Amino acid sequence: MTLPPDHDGGAPAARGARDDTPASADELDARLAAARYISDPTTSLALWLALRMHRPLLLEGPAGVGKTDLARAAAEALGRKVIRLQCYEGLDEAKALYEWDYAKQMLYTQLLRDAVAKEIAGAASLSEAARAIAGSEASFFSEHFLIARPLLAALRSAAPVVLLIDEVDRADPEFEAFLLEVLSEMQVTIPELGTVRAAHPPLVLLTTNATREMTEALRRRCLHAFLDYPPPSREVAILKIALPGIEPRLAAQIVAFVGALRAMDLRKSPAISETIDWARALLLLGKRAITPEVARDTLGVLLKHQGDRGDAEAKLGALARAAEQAGAGEPAT
């Protein structure tokens, strides 16, 4: 038995609409830029290949480099909806795939108890009574009581979607084994109902922050892309998209300062999102240049561990000078 697609899921496109797949990786890259995501050619190519080959894409790299946001941008670029599965330790099939609405089933039991009793009382034989009971039991495990979780919702969607399996390394290795059927065949089996095959293969993106090593079985089923901290020119471009009014000189100084911090042996280097937050904080404070004093007062936006702040404060003079030199060739406005 193959379950029908869920017509409440998917992108807000008309039923039967053609999926707007880019003709090339360059076109996809341009669409990502229009969705306010500055990608690099390697990542855009990997994403395009995953889309055309119907293969999952495993995204690795430090926390905060834009892996999760790529799913948002890809969905916007493709006109799709994002369905997200946030992974965590102890995640199981019931939370990832489906579960039965037990409260609703119990209510149904109360409502049907008298009706079933009448059917049994009117049965001509024991076998007829057994059939009546069996028919009532079957209705308990029907579409009416099925709660679709992210994986099932993505497979049943009436329109193509982006399925984000976020921080898959936080889940147990056993959960990876469960994912193999979904990623290999784009289908899952519900014992009570049958096999669910994808009406439209979703674009599957898996992210990991390397808290543990992924199994080779899962890696084999995925294409791979590594997202690192962006080069200065791309991070400046990201800042200008996030904060259109930022002065070029200040943007260059911010990126240089953050880049110097990342070169230090810190417990947690600043992510791109923290670069943007720091730039926003400096604008709110009316700062147009980075001095040691400004940096010291606002380090808490960038660094969240006291040991890292202490290491950075010991080098604020050199960090501020590097930032000033980076912004020297840029216009102030």
Asked whether the predicted pLDDT for residue 101 surpasses 50, the reply is yes
pTM of the model: 0.81
Asked whether the predicted pLDDT for residue 1 surpasses 60, the reply is no
Which residue, 195, 226, 257, sits at the end of a domain? 226
How does residue 11 score in pLDDT terms, banded at 50, 70 and 90?
very low
Residue 13 placed within a domain: no
Query: Which two three-digit tokens encode residue 10?
Result: 């998917």
CATH number for the domain spanning 202: value is 3.40.50.300
Question: How many structural domains are present in the chain?
Answer: 3
Which residue, 226, 249, 267, sits at the end of a domain? 226
Residue 280: what residue type?
R
Its domain, for residue 105, covers: 100-146
Which residue, 146, 162, 177, sits at the end of a domain? 146
CB 326 within 8 A of CB 256: yes
The sign of the CA dihedral 81, 86, 87, 92 is negative
- The more confidently predicted of residues 148 and 309 is 309
Q: Which residues contact 184 (CB under 8 A, 6 or more apart)?
A: 221
Residue 11 placed within a domain: no
Residue 298 placed within a domain: yes
**From residue 40, how far is each of 28, 47, 73 by CA, in Å?**
11, 11, 13
Asked whether the predicted pLDDT for residue 113 surpasses 70, the reply is no
Share of the chain above pLDDT 90, in %: 62
The burial class, CB within 10 Å (0-12 / 13-18 / 19+), for 302 is: buried
Share of the chain above pLDDT 70, in %: 81
Residue 305: what residue type?
H
**DSSP label of 199:** S
Residues 59 and 204 in one domain: yes
CB 258 within 8 A of CB 246: no
Residues 91 and 175 in one domain: yes
Report pLDDT digits (tens) over 73-93.
999 999 999 999 999 999 988
**From residue 168, how far is each of 24, 87, 205, 227, 265 by CA, in Å?**
29, 5, 10, 16, 27
Residues 250 and 310 in one domain: yes
How does residue 119 score in pLDDT terms, banded at 50, 70 and 90?
low
